[in-house]
Structure 1
Amino acid sequence: MIDEARAVRPGEQLDAERLAAFLTQNLQGAGSVLQVEQFPSGFSNLTYLLRLGERQLVLRRPPFGAAVKSGHDMAREYRILRTLRPVYPKAPAPLLYSDDLSIIGAPFYIMERVSGVILRNRLPPGLSLTPGQMTALCHALIDNLVALHRLDLHATGLADLGRPEGYVQRQVSGWIRRYENALTDDVPAMTQAGAWLRAHLPPDQGAAGAALIHNDYKFDNVVLDPDDLTHIRAVLDWEMATVGDPWMDVGTTLGYWAEAGDPEILRNFGMTALPGNLTRQQFVDAYAAASGREIGHALFYLVFGLYKVAVIVQQIYARYRQGHTQDPRFARLIHLVRANGEMMTRAIETQRLSGLFG
């Protein structure tokens, strides 16, 4: 059931000799023979398992051919982990950072591995979850997000990580711009959703309503204890974390949150359509109850989340079309962009979060 690495994908190999020399020079006790494997899931920054004898480390680097610097800033992600770890133990412990391109051809950082169960697009072999367990797991996911949003920004040392005033407006404009820059196919629903978001911005919460937000919070970015799957050991992938409107964090989670009646391509993208999972509306209601935050403009945050996820997928698909990656998973991602466009259209037309196809 433990999430395991595999052989490195063709075209994404690291220079193991140079990397081993770097580790020997900078990490105490790193003299063992280095073995490099790769975690096969994930669609953004590349994640590798480094075995040094009995010790296991994780290396993160930008994807090959990535042009979005702000989304693949290894120094920023390392700083977040280093600063956050003392006040939020679910952040993995960072160890080393390097911007020396002669080592593996890109900036990277290394952290301790947190072993456990990660729920991706199918259950790990040997694992089954009852509807009751899935419901409990959903609430654990929500409670952990609420705990993150309640962190004292000044205690974390990350109050300067973002600019909360005007955050939502900048996010909408920024993701529309990213989509236009990565455009490959005409998807009218994306253009229409972008215009709708611009026209329906919620009131600005400013610094008073700001929180530290993860910005990519979902099942496959949390590590679960194999002995108690409702216990979250770690939260991964902090590359987009910032200070802003916490409901935008909820919106991103909703963007990945498919329900039983949603199109198959979306249901196959994660675990949230299994019996016992909360619906999107139930997720919002549970978060509001646990956090004490008023729901307000939930439809906007859902549409934003769907749009943002579609843009991330579009950027990956564009890199594939340009020949920067050979990962065969990316060949059909344009269909996921179109499916998200249809979801946004249905949500706007029905003014609902859930049951969009029922």
Structure 2
Amino acid sequence: MTGDTAPVRPGEELPLEALREALRGRVAGDVDALSVEQFPGGFSNLTYLLRLGEQEYVLRRAPLGPVAKGAHDMAREARLLEKIHPALPVAPRPVLVVEDESVIGSPFYLMERRKGVVVRTRLPGEYAALPDAPRRLSMALIDTLADLHAVDIDAAGLRDLGKPEGFNARQVAGWAGRWRRAREALKDTGDLPPPAQLRDELVIAWLEAHTPPESAHTLVHNDFKLDNLMLDPADPGQVTALLDWEMTTVGDPLVDLGLTLTYWTMPELPGGAPNRVGAASAGFLSRDELVARYEERTARHVTSSLPWYEVLGHFKLAVIVLQIFARYRAGQTSDPRFAPLAGQATWLIGEAWRRISEQGTSSGEDGQSGGTLE
């Protein structure tokens, strides 16, 4: 699949006249020739292609319907990119921030348009004739993550972006709270198994009891995955953009790695499409090879401490998809891609519990202790 656009989905249209006036005199291009298309991927923020004559921009705004306080902060994301772009060129350059909600219904920002291939569930035709495409793509993914974690947060003025001390404990508390609120919203719908069967609270308790100290303090993307990369159509080993900086902060880099491994090893991606790129597909790096490459690029020895981060990765993704499903169930969005997400959240919790159970009574490093939830 490419990063091409599609017509705007019904119900997600932009008010063109108000948008024209908000852009007039503030960006290059022919504002009167404004046309809008939509990027079809993604489950959270809405992303559009704006054409102003020959000039193109990407517009990002929060999803429709109520959003949690502090979430989907477009102004924060744009200010963040202003600092990251010089230090990490694969981060797109922001162009304009509009915080006036009256223009399109929420704050938004424009960034430069990057072009390339977005690989979601299968290897696209552009790479069919390249026998080493799966391996080159795998290397590009993990090398970009290593580059992200190598950004000097002090030189880039990013250390104040978050509070790295105690980051892991706050991750567990924050995601547990979000999970419980989404679960409560669905308590009478029958979409989730009963708590004793779901074992979600056991997963939370294990994460709380085994929280390690931070392995390091770096930039953390917080949603690093393959389809947030754009790749050169002629070379899957070259990244042209890293996208979706909404949740970026400063914290433990292994939180990123744990979530990346979650996506990489899932048989189905959010929405239910079979995952034909990743650890289970021929030619791609296995989970262990991906970890070994990360260790090589970062000079960090992380293998022994990864189980906690992978359980957290599965839990975080379960929270994300359940929050989206709760919005869908409440009628705040009608996107049919969201219909299977409750089942996927259930699977992710089950997979997190399976990984916990595999730990048995073993002891880990970096502050982790094994044990069962007795």
Q: Which runs of 5+ in 2 are unaligned?
A: 187-191, 361-374
Q: 1:304 aligns with which of 306, 312, 317?
A: 312
Between 1:167-176 and 1:51-60, the stretch displaced more is 51-60
TM-score of the superposed pair, with normalisation by structure 2: 0.88
Post-superposition Cα deviations, 1:82-123, rounded to whole Å, max 9, x if no partner, equal 111122111101000011111101000001110100001233
Distance in 2, matches of 1:329 and 1:221, equals 18
Deviation of 1:282 after TM superposition, in Å, equals 2.6
Residue 99 of structure 1: aligned partner: 99
Tell whether the 8 Å contact from 1:189 to 1:344 is kept in structure 2 after alignment. Answer: no
Structure 1 equivalent of residue 56 of structure 2: 56
Q: Aligned match of 2:249 in 242, 245, 256? A: 242
Output aligned runs, 1:329-340, within 5 Å.
329-340=337-348
2:219 to 212, 217, 228: 212
Q: Distance in 2 between matches of 1:149 and 1:126?
A: 29
Structure-2 residue corresponding to 1:128: 128
Are 2:37 and 1:37 aligned? yes
129 and 348 in structure 1: CA distance in 2 versus 1, 3 angstrom threshold: farther
Contact 1:43–1:316 (CA<8 Å) still a contact in 2? yes
| Cα distance change on mapping 1:264 and 1:218 into 2, 3 Å | closer
1:197 aligns with 2:197: no
User: Partners in 2 of 1:124 and 1:9 — Cα distance?
Assistant: 23
State which of 275, 281, 287 in structure 1 corresponds to 2:282. 275
Residue of structure 1 equivalent to 2:76: 76
Distance 1:170 1:29 in 2: 44
- Cα distance per residue 1:195-251 (max 9 Å; x no partner): 11111111344xxx2001111111100110111110011100000111001111101
Is 1:163–1:243's contact at 8 Å kept on the other side of the alignment? Answer: yes
Contact 2:166 2:213 in 1 (8 A): no
Match of 1:19?
A: 19
Query: Using the alignment, how far apart are the partners of 1:92 and 1:270 within structure 2?
Result: 28
In the TM superposition, what is the alpha-carbon distance from 1:135 to its structure 2 partner?
1.7
1:293 maps onto 2:303 in alignment:
no
Which deviates further from its counterpart, 340-349 or 3-12? Answer: 340-349
1:73–1:5 CA distance, 2 compared to 1 (3 A)? same
Q: CA separation of 1:278/1:71 partners in 2, compared to 1, >3 Å: closer, same or farther? A: farther
Structure 1 unpaired stretches of 5+: 353-358
Report what 2:366 is aligned to. Answer: none
1:120-199 → structure 2 map (5 Å cutoff): 120-125=120-125, 127-128=127-128, 132-183=132-183, 184=186, 185-186=192-193, 188-199=198-209
The amino acid across from 2:55 in the alignment is: R
Residue in structure 1 matched with residue 326 of structure 2 by the alignment: 318
Letter in 2 for 1:330: F
- Residue 264 of structure 2 corresponds to 257
Q: What is the number of equivalent residue pairs in this alignment?
A: 347
